[in-house]
Amino acid sequence: MLVIEKDGYYYNTSKHKCPSVRIVAQTRDKSVTFTEETKQQLHELEEIPLNIKLKDCKKVEDIKEGDILEVRGYRPARSSLIVNLSGEYYIGSHWLKEVITKQENKHTFNVIAGPIKTTPTKNRCRSFIKQ
């Protein structure tokens, strides 16, 4: 038995949009058992409460480069984004918004904090890469 998860889309050489899938778990037994890592991957994104305001959130620039964080949920707020990263609430940067909007499924996923880069509007903020 295979457990697969849709992991976005890609375009093939004929320029057709195709789903990209990845194998989450596989077994040959009739009784299926999942490891804790597999169960953690299948958690759905949680809702951010409305009482969390931008002034209560930390800035993503305070995160160290190379840290691996789990995106547990997000919510738009004004022109910004409130993101739950490993249990802490942060104000999302331009690069974090790009990673989240490319995410097609509604499950938690990990991101790696990258170097500080310049956005198209010439602001400097922490970049993120999906793991």
Sequence spans of domains, the chain: 1-42, 44-131
How far apart (Å, rounded) are the C-alpha atoms in residues 79 and 40? 31
Q: Which residue has the higher pLDDT, 39 or 58?
A: 58
Stretch 115-126: mean pLDDT = 86
- This prediction has a pTM of 0.61
Instruction: Identify the pLDDT of residue 112.
Output: 85
Amino acid 129 reads I
Q: In the predicted model, what is the mean pLDDT of residues 111-116?
A: 86
